């Protein structure tokens, strides 16, 4: 234990991003927040940013702010996420709606593009909302959902996808980082496999990546990987706040071809068109439907500043030392108590969280939360240690692991 | 002029809600804000409310707030809107998404309920997003949009609807208050006509009211009028801030029957269901799709407090004196300059705004905005005077009208 503490302290002392820990709002009574991958912590600068927004942009500029800045915010902020976090050139990313609604829009757009294809391929352990949307879209289009089985710890593998994709496949939907195990999928190889199996880029099945558990914690290279479509949320590692809007990426080669179904004024070429017929805006803007949720787009901007300063590669480096240290602490402290590691051992195959399992973890979580040790419980018996690199220290990870041990012992 | 000023001052002096004018954030340089029906002004108390939220609910309770309060916020806030503003008993209203996305969900749910019916009936001058969604839904379901013609000043009339609705009609979509003229539709009579023409409540065509321009400024009685479906936005007279989420009302008699198409985890009976099949939550909750936009639900709560204090009937009374005074000022000052009144003359037939027309109004608006007189320009030649009762004084209305006169003269 002494060794682990010394190691944690040493890692923190050498952490080039340690200074950022102070930039987040204090959480009195919280000794270990290990759920930054469900809800990132707010920045200390946020209340003043919000107050300024209320006073100036909203309260004084009033409706004029729509012309002056808000109308382009969804695409400007999308471009910024593209540049800072997901390797997307400008004009392909937009902030809007929720992940669920954007999944619906993109899946509908994707399957309509190849009406002869009858299957949506999705991993059976994918996040519920991804599965629910896929089922719904398949049902309304008379299509079939083909379920891909993946190893619960190591996640979806290239071979699994390559074997399942066929000329019947319209769309493949996968998570880049598995929400349970943290397993990292090989985006480039899988995207290539989906494309080549179906006759080359743009000619057949499309690949939609869910980036909810990778955006902001691990470099993503959508353009370089030739990805067709992606969605992600902004309240995890982008710290946008509870229910902050999601983002969608549609590769430029599909603009003007793919059409999303929720035709709204803010995605129209002419927002106030008097004529009756909807004509979509050019480019990524047509994936917007209703009025952009401006207030919900503010908090993430501060976090994007921070990630830009730290660089996404720097964030990834710290993420690896955090999860590697979590695994070492697990080995020393929890494995002897029959806790199982439910994440890949090699940091290269893992995103920003580590999941561990024990039959008592539902009870353990109930004990820990009121005491200010806050991991995430995952049915049936998993605890997810979500380690948001810019707001989490190695000592905090150790506190959490020790608290789990103590709760198991009691 | 002297008379008008004395009258405005007298009306302000006798205004029982005048004290509330000070509860809104100051807008330095703004002498007349006449666009509260596009974007309501923020409350003075909001920055502190947001700061507390960031510090406590989000920053300290962290993920625990989902269990403690946020999961039920969409339905609790919906119930509150139902009680304070739209005459809806609990369990039928939910806050979510944008108006456009909710229109899509409700229209899709409605037309699926009567697959033999082939028409969506909508007024051709309805707000663009309503028309765009209707066109899109009709196209994807192989249905026809039937366009209803209405008088541009007096809006849709009972006879127009009664003549157009038939056994082919699946759904009628109308705005309660016309976004251009402010004309107020007869909700009860029209809803009855739609129902009786189609064989009685629940047996045929459904009625969907868009409340964007009526919620918070005029009492709405959805339950009493037997309305099937409604949507509305919260950034106008509910002052929820730019892009704050919308609300949907689904009458309880349709629960368990109507199904919306965007099947998401937050509308599922079991949010974290491990099994693959989506099963909707009971009641209004199934109309939620993705993670509720919590941050966007904060500002409107303060305004709902205010409306509850003032009562919606009190708000309506002041709304009438404001628009009546605007029409009198128009008669005295603007009619002689060939400005036309584009709203009903009788306050009983009008919502919270008054629209006037002149060929030079595009230019006039461009002159007024930088000078802090902020009405809303409506293509091709309308100026909309949106008078949010709790934040607008009669003297402010007069300043606006006089500024329009001066700009026309220059």
DSSP letter string, A304-328: HHHHHHH-HHHHHHHHHHHHHHHHH
Residues of B within 8 A of A25 (CB-CB) are 54-55, 58-60
Question: Residues B161, B249: one domain?
Answer: yes
**pLDDT tens, residue by residue, A57-96:** 999 999 999 999 999 999 999 999 999 999 999 999 999 9
Task: Please say whether the dihedral angle defined by the alpha carbons of residues B50, B56, B57 and B60, taken in this order, is positive or negative.
Answer: positive
A34 phi and psi, to 5 degrees? Answer: -115, 35
What is the C-alpha to C-alpha distance for residues A316 and A293, in angstroms, rounded to an integer? 29
Distance CA B240, CA A294 (A): 11
pLDDT of residue A198: 57
Is B379 catalytic? The answer is no
E runs forming strands in A88-180? 93-96, 119-123, 144-148, 169-175
The confidence score (pLDDT) of residue A202 equals 45
The mean per-residue pLDDT over the stretch B195-205 comes to 65
Note the pLDDT tens digit of each residue in B255-312: 999 999 999 999 999 887 666 789 999 999 999 999 999 999 999 999 999 999 999 9
A409 sits in which H/E element? helix A394-409
Measure in Å the smallest separation between the Cα of B3 and chain A Cα atoms.
30
B65 is a domain residue: no
Per-residue pLDDT at B202: 45
CA distance B165 to B207: 11
User: Tell me, what CATH number does B389's domain have?
Assistant: 3.90.1150.10
pLDDT greater than 80 at residue B200 = no
**Which residues of B are less than 8 Å from A292 in CB distance?**
242-243
Residue A58 Ramachandran class (φ > 0 left, ψ -120 to 50 alpha, else beta) = alpha
Q: Give me the pLDDT at residue A201, please.
A: 46
Residues A280 and A361 in one domain: no
| Boundaries of domain holding B332 | 2-43+311-409
CA distance A393 to chain B (A): 17
For residue A26, being part of any structural domain is answered with yes
Q: What is the C-alpha to C-alpha distance for residues B186 and B176, in angstroms, rounded to an integer? A: 8
The answer to whether the CB of B83 falls within 8 A of the CB of B109 is: no
Whether A121 maps to a domain, the answer reads yes
As a whole number, mean pLDDT of residues B354-358 equals 98
Are B89 and B166 contained in the same domain?
yes
Q: Is A35:B62 a contact under the CB 8 Å cutoff?
A: yes
**CA-closest candidate to residue B91, choices B282, B277, B228, B312:** B282
- Residues B211-224: what's their mean pLDDT? 98
Rounded to an integer, the average pLDDT of A275-303 is 94
Question: Which residues in chain B are closer than 8 Å to A233, comparing Cβ atoms?
Answer: 291
Where a domain ends, among B241, B273, B306? Answer: B306
State the smallest CA–CA distance between residue B11 and chain A in angstroms.
Answer: 25
pTM over 0.95: yes
Which pLDDT band, with edges at 50, 70 and 90, does A265 fall under? very high
**CB spacing of A290 vs B50 below 8 angstroms:** no
Residue B119: its pLDDT value, please?
96
Nearest CA of chain B to the CA of A81: how many Å? 19
Measured between CA atoms, the residue of chain B closest to residue A67 is: B369
Q: Which of A30, A60, A132 sits opposite B263 (nearest CB)?
A: A132
Is residue A284 located within the same domain as residue A318?
no
- The structure tokens listed for B391 are 């934040």
Identify the active-site residue in B80, B108, B180, B236: B236
What CATH number is attached to the domain comprising B264?
3.40.640.10
Average pLDDT of the segment spanning B175-191: 97
CB contact set of B373 (below 8 Å; sequence gap of 6+): B30, B31, B32, B34, B399, B400, B403, B404
Counted across chains A and B, CB pairs separated by less than 8 A come out at 269
Per-residue pLDDT of A41-60, as tens digits, reads 999 999 999 999 999 999 99
B284, B306, B328 — which closes off a domain? B306
Contact check, Cβ <8 Å, B129/A265: yes
Closest Cα partner for B198 from B190, B188, B187, B209? B190
Active site (catalytic) residues of A:
127, 210, 235-236, 384
B384 is catalytic: yes
* B279: Cα within 13 Å, side-chain hemisphere: 8
Whether the per-residue pLDDT at B410 is higher than 80: the answer is no
In a domain, B55, yes or no: no
Give yes or no for residue B104 having a pLDDT over 80. Answer: yes
β-strand partners of A32 = A373
Structure tokens at A19: 């200074």
Last residue of a domain, one of A271, A306, A341: A306
What are A121-148's pLDDT values in tens digits?
A: 999 999 999 999 999 999 999 999 999 9
Over residues A292-303, the mean pLDDT reads 98
Nearest to A296 among B65, B127, B295 (CB): B295
Band of residue B203 on the pLDDT scale cut at 50, 70, 90: low
> Does residue A98 form part of some domain?
yes
State residue A271's pLDDT score.
80
What number is the average pLDDT over the span A203-226?
Answer: 95
B273 part of a folded domain: yes
Q: Which residues of chain B have a CB within 8 Å of the CB of A268? A: 128, 132
Sign of the four-CA dihedral A281, A176, A126, A247: negative
Helix B312-329 and helix B299-310: axis angle, to 10°? 90
Specify whether B127 is catalytic.
yes
pLDDT tens readout for residues A3-42: 999 999 999 999 999 999 999 999 999 999 999 999 999 9
> Does residue B325 surpass a pLDDT of 90?
yes
- Using an 8 Å CB-CB cutoff, list chain B residues near A40: none
State yes or no: pLDDT of A270 exceeds 50. Answer: yes
**pLDDT value, residue A274:** 65
Count how many Cα atoms sit within 13 Å of the Cα of residue B258 in the half-sphere of its side chain. 30
How far apart are the C-alpha atoms of B244 and B98, rounded to whole Å?
A: 8
């Amino acid at each position: 234990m002494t060794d682990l503490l010394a190691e944690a302290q040493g890692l923190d002392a050498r952490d080039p991003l340690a200074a950022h820990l102070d930039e987040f709002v204090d959480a009195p009574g919280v000794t270990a927040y290990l759920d930054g991958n469900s809800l990132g912590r707010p920045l200390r600068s946020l209340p003043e940013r919000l107050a300024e927004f209320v006073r100036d942009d909203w309260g004084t500029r009033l409706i004029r702010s729509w012309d002056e800045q808000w109308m382009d915010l969804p695409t400007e902020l999308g471009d910024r996420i593209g540049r800072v976090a997901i390797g997307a050139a400008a004009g392909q990313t937009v902030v809007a709606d929720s992940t669920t609604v954007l999944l619906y829009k993109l899946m509908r757009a994707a399957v309509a593009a190849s009406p002869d294809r009858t299957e949506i391929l999705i991993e059976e352990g994918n996040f519920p909302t991804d599965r629910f949307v896929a089922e719904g879209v398949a049902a309304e289009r008379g299509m079939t959902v083909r379920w891909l089985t993946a190893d619960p710890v190591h996640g979806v593998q290239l071979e699994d996808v390559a074997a399942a994709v066929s000329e019947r496949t319209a769309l493949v939907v996968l998570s880049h980082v598995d929400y349970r195990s943290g397993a990292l999928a090989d985006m480039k190889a899988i995207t290539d496999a989906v494309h080549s199996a179906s006759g080359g880029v743009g000619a057949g099945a499309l690949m939609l990546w869910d980036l909810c558990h990778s955006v902001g914690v691990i470099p993503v290279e959508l353009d370089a990987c030739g990805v067709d479509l992606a969605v992600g949320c902004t309240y995890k590692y982008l710290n946008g706040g509870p229910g902050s809007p999601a983002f969608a990426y549609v590769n430029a080669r599909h603009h003007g071809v793919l059409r999303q179904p929720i035709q709204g004024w803010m995605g129209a070429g002419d927002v106030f068109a008097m004529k009756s017929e909807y004509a979509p805006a050019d480019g990524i803007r047509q994936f917007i439907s209703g009025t952009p949720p401006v207030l919900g787009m503010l908090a993430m901007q501060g976090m994007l500043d921070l990630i830009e300063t730290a660089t996404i590669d720097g964030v990834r480096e710290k993420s690896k030392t955090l999860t590697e240290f979590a695994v070492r602490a697990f080995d020393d402290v929890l494995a002897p108590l029959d806790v199982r590691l439910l994440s890949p051992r090699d940091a290269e195959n893992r995103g920003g969280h580590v999941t561990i399992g024990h039959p008592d973890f539902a009870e353990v979580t109930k004990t820990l939360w009121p005491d200010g040790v806050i991991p995430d419980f995952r049915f049936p018996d998993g605890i997810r240690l979500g380690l948001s690199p810019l707001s989490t220290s190695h000592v905090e990870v150790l506190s959490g692991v020790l608290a789990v041990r103590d709760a198991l012992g009691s």
